[in-house]
Amino acid sequence: MLTIENVWKHYHGHSVLRGVDLTVRPHEVVCLIGASGSGKSTLLRCVNLLETVDDGAIYLDGEEITAVRTDPDDVRKRLGMVFQAYNLFPHMTVLENICLAPRKVHGTGRAEAERQARDLLARFGLADKATAYPDRLSGGQQQRVAIIRALATGPRLLLLDEVTSALDPALVTEVLGVIRELKEGGMTMILATHEMGFAKEIADTVCFLDGGVLLERGSPEQIFTAPREPRTQEFLRSVLESRRL
Amino acid sequence: MTQQVDGWVKSERQVERERQRGRRAFRSGSVASASTLVCLVALAALVTNAPGWARVRETFFNVEAFTEALPDVLSGFWTNIQIFLIAEPLILIVGLLIALVRELKAPVFFPLRALAVAYVDVFRGVPTLLVILLVGFGLPALELQGVPKDEVTLGVVALTLSYSAYVAEVFRAGIATVHPSQRAAARSLGLGHGQTMRYVVLPQAVRRVIPPLLNDFVSLQKDTALVSTIGVVEALRQAQIYASGTFNYTPYLVAALLFILLTIPMARLTDHLAARSQRRRGA
């Protein structure tokens, strides 16, 4: 479904991604792990075309989306993205946040968009928050709304960028519950995450990034129990010591 | 503070604490009132006993001249209000358009963008009075067809040209304060540049710039007096006519009072809105 081929990205003469290759199959859940600054977020932003790649190519459903003539808006219509800091629109209610893209980008009628939004809110236990403004919600609730907002356009692929990093531990659980449910529904996802326990549970494939290089990829069992690369071993040991696993 | 919360009975310690706070507040209030009174009395005594006070009162605070000039200055002031009411919406529209043009990034729009930059540079740099003189005397002198001859219209045009440059910059500053992550979120949903501006960036930006915009409008209210230079008989000009006839400056004071009466509500509204957005950010 998604193929990333030898992607490079530099900022101010410093390489953030150094020739990354990655393939994502339909219904696959890929977890990107690695220290902060290893390039996880940048890779997601490149797929979404929020960043332009400096070399290499990305294919979505066989079409090269990094081609110069590609319309980024057209690609983003087919992708959903959720950010670490939720990025809800503060001047809109929960319902308006969710309905904006279906109505203005996909041309769904108001009534239909609102009905679908309310269905999604009910499914994730937020039915009573439809008319609330984001600043009246907890962090966990805001992030669940952000996920629903990304889902409302029916994306082919969901990109989740450290979606629990800004939440306190009690609220992480409710957001992870939503992602778990999406996996059961067969959603294709790429997650950049620091939640190793969760990655171990939910991922079909785990990729370890280090200094912009995709150093090791494998099943969660292999990566977490028998990592081959010394850098992966070192990273997992440090995570273990900080009791995040 | 007086309302009862479930299961909470005010402890004796809290009752005593509130009594002490009340005493302290009363003492602060008394001290403030007393010192204000003393200052006012001292100031009044100083001013009225000053050697030139009689002449000052005669020249600036002449009751007779005041009542005589008031009706005409007031009707002149109505012209100021009309100019202000027409110019303000025009300035908002032109200013916003210029700000939006400067945000257009596509290469096709380069000439438009360059024009907008030049516009702001020129009209922010030239004194408002000079713009009014150029438009008020210069435009009709061209004797072109379709150019208005009416001084009030020309005054409105000149004020709009000058103030739109400032207001455009205020809007642009507001747009810049909206965090890039908001744009990223909107674009990631597939919204284009224009849609992102319209639905996500502008609504947030406009809310933030309301206090500085009102500040510019207070300034505009005063600058309507500048159109007197091209022959519009408004409040200042009326006052001038009276003053030059009688060598008494009280009519100027009448005009000044009217301007103050107009700007004070605007200033309080600005304070109120600023305080409200402060509270919201804190919440």
Let me know if residue B2 belongs to a domain: no
Reduced to 3 states (helix: H, G, I; strand: E, B; else coil), residue A70 is coil
- Percentage of chain B lying above the pLDDT 70 cut: 97
Does one domain contain both B143 and B251?
Answer: yes
Q: How many domains does chain A have?
A: 1
- pLDDT of A217 > 60? The answer is yes
The mean pLDDT value of chain A amounts to: 92
- pLDDT of A12 > 90? The answer is no
Range of the domain at B234: 62-282
Residue B248: give its domain's CATH number: 1.10.3720.10
Q: Residue B4's pLDDT is what?
A: 63
Q: What does the pLDDT look like over A222-235, one tens digit per residue?
A: 999 999 999 999 99
Let me know if residue B262 belongs to a domain: yes
- pLDDT of B6 > 80? The answer is no
The mean pLDDT value of chain B amounts to: 90
Which residue among B184, B199, B283 places its CB closest to the CB of A100? B199
> What band does B283 get if pLDDT is binned at 50, 70 and 90?
very low
Let me know if residue A208 belongs to a domain: no
| Rounded average pLDDT over A123-148 | 92
- pLDDT of A191 > 80? The answer is yes
User: Which amino acid type is present at position B55?
Assistant: R
Distance from CA of B203 to the nearest CA of A (A): 7
Q: Does B184 touch chain A (CB under 8 A)?
A: yes
User: Cβ of B283 and A135 within 8 Å?
Assistant: yes
Let me know if residue A41 belongs to a domain: no
Residue among A48, A91, A97 with most chain B CBs within 10 A, to mutate? A91
Q: Residue A134's pLDDT is what?
A: 93
Does one domain contain both B138 and B18?
Answer: no
> What band does B159 get if pLDDT is binned at 50, 70 and 90?
very high
Let me know if residue A164 belongs to a domain: no
Let me know if residue A109 belongs to a domain: yes
- Residues 6+ positions from B25 with CB-CB distance below 8 Å: none
Q: Residue B232's pLDDT is what?
A: 86
Does one domain contain both B167 and B255?
Answer: yes
Range of the domain at A137: 88-155
Q: Residue A245's pLDDT is what?
A: 54
- pLDDT of B18 > 90? The answer is yes
User: Cβ of B191 and A149 within 8 Å?
Assistant: no
| Rounded average pLDDT over B163-181 | 95
Q: What does the pLDDT look like over B251-280, one tens digit per residue?
A: 899 999 999 998 888 888 888 887 887 776
Q: In A, which residues are within 8 Å of B194 by CB distance?
A: none
User: Cβ of B200 and A89 within 8 Å?
Assistant: yes
- pLDDT of A186 > 60? The answer is yes
Let me know if residue A200 belongs to a domain: no
Does one domain contain both B208 and B79?
Answer: yes
Does one domain contain both B29 and B96?
Answer: no
Cα-based torsion angle of the residue sequence B212, B216, B221, B222 in order, rounded to the nearest 10 degrees: 120
Let me know if residue A95 belongs to a domain: yes
Whether the model clears a pTM of 0.80, i.e. scores above it, the answer is yes
User: Cβ of A83 and B185 within 8 Å?
Assistant: yes
- pLDDT of B91 > 60? The answer is yes
Does one domain contain both B136 and B19?
Answer: no
Does one domain contain both B22 and B80?
Answer: no
- pLDDT of A56 > 70? The answer is yes
Let me know if residue B230 belongs to a domain: yes
Does one domain contain both B45 and B67?
Answer: no
User: Cβ of B184 and A105 within 8 Å?
Assistant: no
Q: In B, which residues are within 8 Å of A77 by CB distance?
A: 190
Q: Does B188 touch chain A (CB under 8 A)?
A: yes
Instruction: Return the residue of B nearest to A86 by Cα.
Output: B185
Does one domain contain both B186 and B145?
Answer: yes
Q: Does B182 touch chain A (CB under 8 A)?
A: yes
Q: How many domains does chain B have?
A: 2
- pLDDT of B31 > 70? The answer is yes
Q: Residue A87's pLDDT is what?
A: 94
Q: In B, which residues are within 8 Å of A150 by CB distance?
A: 188-189
Q: What does the pLDDT look like over B191-241, one tens digit per residue?
A: 999 999 999 999 999 988 988 898 899 899 999 999 999 988 888 888 888
User: Cβ of B190 and A85 within 8 Å?
Assistant: no
> What band does B2 get if pLDDT is binned at 50, 70 and 90?
low
ipTM above 0.85, yes or no: yes
Q: Residue B93's pLDDT is what?
A: 96
Q: In A, which residues are within 8 Å of B203 by CB distance?
A: 91
Q: Residue A145 is inside which H or E element, if any?
A: helix A139-151
Q: Does B194 touch chain A (CB under 8 A)?
A: no
Let me know if residue A22 belongs to a domain: no
Q: Residue B280's pLDDT is what?
A: 66
Whether A88 contacts B182, CB under 8 Å: no
Strand partners, A46: none
Q: Residue B66's pLDDT is what?
A: 86
Q: Residue A59's pLDDT is what?
A: 94
Does one domain contain both B88 and B133?
Answer: yes
Let me know if residue A115 belongs to a domain: yes
Residue among B178, B179, B188, B199 with most chain A CBs within 10 A, to mutate? B188
Q: Does A88 touch chain B (CB under 8 A)?
A: yes
Does one domain contain both B81 and B170?
Answer: yes
Q: Residue B270's pLDDT is what?
A: 81
Q: In A, which residues are within 8 Å of B207 by CB distance?
A: 91
CA distances from residue A116 to A90, A153, A154, A155, A187 in whole angstroms, order as listed: 21, 10, 11, 14, 17
Q: Does B192 touch chain A (CB under 8 A)?
A: yes
Q: Residue A244's pLDDT is what?
A: 57
- pLDDT of B139 > 50? The answer is yes
> What band does B40 get if pLDDT is binned at 50, 70 and 90?
very high
User: Cβ of B181 and A87 within 8 Å?
Assistant: yes
Does one domain contain both B198 and B252?
Answer: yes
Which residue among A73, A85, A87 places its CB closest to the CB of B192? A73
Q: In A, which residues are within 8 Å of B195 by CB distance?
A: 104-105
Q: In B, which residues are within 8 Å of A80 by CB distance?
A: 188
